[in-house]
Structure 1
Amino acid sequence: MPNFQSKSHIFDPRPDFPLLISVKRYWDPQTSSNDPDALTLVLAHATGYPKETWEPFIDDLFALVRKQSNIKINDIWSIEAPNHAEMADVNEPVLDWSFRPVFRWDDWTRAIHLVLGGYGFGIDVDLRKRNLVAVGHSMGAVCLMLTTTHHPALPWSSFILVEPMFWPKSPQSDAIHEFLAGGSKKRRDVWPSLGEVRETFLTKKAWRAWDPRTFDLHLKYGFKPVDPNQPDGAVTLSTSKANEFACFNDPHGTSIGYRFLSTFIKKNHTHVIYGAIPDYIPGDLREDILKNVSGGIDRFASVSLVEKAGHLVTVTHPKQLADTVYQRLQETASPRSVVAVAKL
């Protein structure tokens, strides 16, 4: 059982933005602090994953805070892309009208900015008064970065980018894009039951590598009944293939993040975390990002590796990621340091 409490919110920014946004707040009653310098973490997930797959990471992070009291965390907010999971069905008429076959990453960026800026209804907390720390994975990392291009500015104190999904336009990056987008189009999306999903997935090495907690949460939130009147019958993906593909099909998300990095890092205290295994993002692209595009690796607050993990570090190694993020939170206000950068 997780040792935190949570509350779900549906944020309504209409008419300024046409999509409803699902947000979940987490806090630890034992350690939650209202001090002005307490941190509020904002989480943004990777393409295709529900916001709840962060929960093992959250649980492990809170456990570290309980053991060591030198970091104060008020709460944690996980914001879901509005074409994903919980709100996908509710937003479907609008998504079908203007957010497919391309869902721009900047549309999720705008959604995040609206939530944190309070430009809508459904959240009774003024997050503009908080000491915000961004923790984003893959596409979510880039979208959090890009919130700094929207105005008015949000009160970010630091950014923790986990396997940020950006790269230059090249034949190599085109091949990665084809692999990811093509995989989403070919993905199976209907099973006779949730039990069969579990059985089928556990025959594959990639799924067995997941932390059991994230695996169970993905089954719970990543799938839904084909017929709502038959909850024990056939299931399908809560984030449809079409919506996942629409995110991968944005031709600008990865390149905009790549080109923006050198400007972004001049203004923002930025940590980068990679899995030690360069699977989705090849090692030479990492080297280019860290040493060339950024203007030099020493311009990052820190660069860390999570051992034995690859791009899907949030779901395969949530405890190790929580350990690494906890260390980075300790350094948020400290002089810049570079750690664990060898053999990228």
Structure 2
Amino acid sequence: MSPLQLRSELFVFDTPPLHGLPGLKMTAKRYYTSSSDSQGLTLLFAHGIGAHKEHWEPMLRYLFSHQNLQQQSCIREAWCFDWLNHGDAAVINKTALERRSPGDVSIAEWAAAIASFVKSPFLRDHRLVGLGHSAGSSAIILATRAFPMRNQPFVAVFLLEPSMLTRELWMSHLVERETLMRRSTRATLRRPHMFDTWEEASNYYRKRKPWAGWNHEVFDIFTQYGFHSVGTHDGSKKETKVALKCDLLHEALAYQDIESHFEATDQYTRLCRVVPVHIVFGTIPDYIPSYFQDCMTDVSQGRSPASVKRVSGAGHGILQQNPEALARAVSVGLNSIMRDSASHLMHRL
């Protein structure tokens, strides 16, 4: 399928202070098409560690295209947010972030920023669907804590390869989890963060995992929006280099924010009783073991998702590896929301 050309607008929002820390800026992009339905759903997207808001663009083009083939699209618009120390937000917040400890920008703070936006006039009278990939799943779930459980602004939530787990399961696999966390942290900090040219940066990542396994559209997006030009001084000589927007220390420390995932799992358990939660997993257990999936679908503990879908040939990087298949899985869920809404309206009549 040939994906649609999306229109987009860039926004910068103030975020509320958290635990005495001054609020940072949150960058976001609004996506829409000429055929977007003003009565449709507004989708809110949160990315994973080391990604940025534009990673969603290939998947969004396919998602809008799938909807465009139907008689009436169920999508009004989509908003994609940068974690406050990732992507464009990392550049805008650079000075403010230098005044903080690197690990201070938790998933919970990002979630509070998303919740603040949900309360803004931008989304008044919109029917909202939250979608998160990996750590972004926890951000979307934690954003729902800002609202009464029985009066949620979200009509549904999609968790795409969520990295959520209970504290009990983490402790029962403690050695394995801490080993992987240390390995991810070390691997991130060993990567170079600055290159002489864009081509050098692209060539470095193209040959290494996990980037070598990414869909080419997503990889191009990563190199286009994940880096920026910076001025450096070498003695008296001034040069221009290419650097990652997200500081590697911030990226590395994000792997250690396990408390946010525990809190998100608890909130998800409560939320799925009142809001339909759809989950999409990859079929390759390359980063998230099967007990993460078992945890999210453990009906005996009250974790009852509205649907569970699996995308073949993709692992934890499902968004980057197969954006079209992911779009198909999400489109099915979105259609079910609209059908359920229409059925509910007919019963009321």
Answer whether contact 1:84 1:239 (CA < 8 A) is retained.
yes
Change (3 A) 1:71 1:33: closer
Number of paired residues? 324
What is the CA–CA distance in structure 2 between the aligned matches of 1:104 and 1:13, rounded to whole Å? 13
How far is the alpha carbon of 1:329 from its aligned partner? 0.6
How far is the alpha carbon of 1:70 from its aligned partner? 4.3
Change (3 A) 1:8 1:311: same
Answer whether contact 1:25 1:78 (CA < 8 A) is retained.
yes
* Alignment partner, residue 339 of structure 1: none
Matches within 5 A, 1:24-43: 24-29=29-34, 31-35=35-39, 38-43=40-45
* Alignment partner, residue 5 of structure 1: 7
Does the alignment pair 1:277 with 2:284? Answer: yes
Change (3 A) 1:184 1:111: same
* Alignment partner, residue 164 of structure 1: 162
Does the alignment pair 1:174 with 2:178? Answer: yes
Q: Find 1:213's aligned residue among 202, 210, 217.
A: 217
Using structure 1 for the length normalisation, give the TM-score. Answer: 0.87
* Alignment partner, residue 143 of structure 1: 139
What is the CA–CA distance in structure 2 between the aligned matches of 1:58 and 1:159, rounded to whole Å? 16
Of 199-208 and 189-198, deviating more is: 199-208
What is the CA–CA distance in structure 1 between the aligned matches of 2:102 and 2:277, rounded to whole Å? 32
| SS across alignment from 1:234 | strand
Matches within 5 A, 1:67-106: 67-106=69-108
| SS across alignment from 1:273 | strand
How far is the alpha carbon of 1:154 from its aligned partner? 4.9
- Per-residue CA deviations over 1:239-282 (Å, capped at 9, x if unaligned) read 11122123223241222222333212112210000111111110
Change (3 A) 1:261 1:313: same
Matches within 5 A, 1:1-344: 3-13=5-15, 18-29=23-34, 31-35=35-39, 38-118=40-120, 126-151=122-147, 154-168=152-166, 169-170=170-171, 171=174, 172-204=176-208, 206-227=210-231, 233-291=240-298, 294-295=301-302, 299-332=304-337
- Structure 2: which 5+ runs fail to align? 341-349
Q: What is the identity percentage for the equivalent residue pairs of Structure 1 and Structure 2?
A: 26
What is the CA–CA distance in structure 1 between the aligned matches of 2:291 and 2:152, rounded to whole Å? 33
How far is the alpha carbon of 1:135 from its aligned partner? 1.0
AA matched with 2:93: N
How far is the alpha carbon of 1:46 from its aligned partner? 0.6
- Per-residue CA deviations over 1:92-131 (Å, capped at 9, x if unaligned) read 232222352332211000010111211xxxxxx5303100
- Per-residue CA deviations over 1:24-61 (Å, capped at 9, x if unaligned) read 000010x21112xx100001111111101110011111
What is the CA–CA distance in structure 1 between the aligned matches of 2:277 and 2:132, rounded to whole Å? 12
What is the CA–CA distance in structure 1 between the aligned matches of 2:198 and 2:205, rounded to whole Å? 11
What is the CA–CA distance in structure 2 between the aligned matches of 1:277 and 1:15, rounded to whole Å? 39
* Alignment partner, residue 342 of structure 1: none
AA matched with 1:56: P
Of 309-318 and 148-157, deviating more is: 148-157
AA matched with 2:13: F
Of 279-288 and 308-317, deviating more is: 279-288
| SS across alignment from 2:93 | helix
How far is the alpha carbon of 1:227 from its aligned partner? 1.5
Answer whether contact 2:16 2:113 (CA < 8 A) is retained.
no
Change (3 A) 1:224 1:126: closer
Change (3 A) 1:14 1:285: closer
How far is the alpha carbon of 1:293 from its aligned partner? 6.9
Answer whether contact 1:103 1:246 (CA < 8 A) is retained.
no
AA matched with 2:195: W
What is the CA–CA distance in structure 2 between the aligned matches of 1:205 and 1:146, rounded to whole Å? 30
- Structure 1: which 5+ runs fail to align? 119-124, 336-344
How far is the alpha carbon of 1:208 from its aligned partner? 2.8
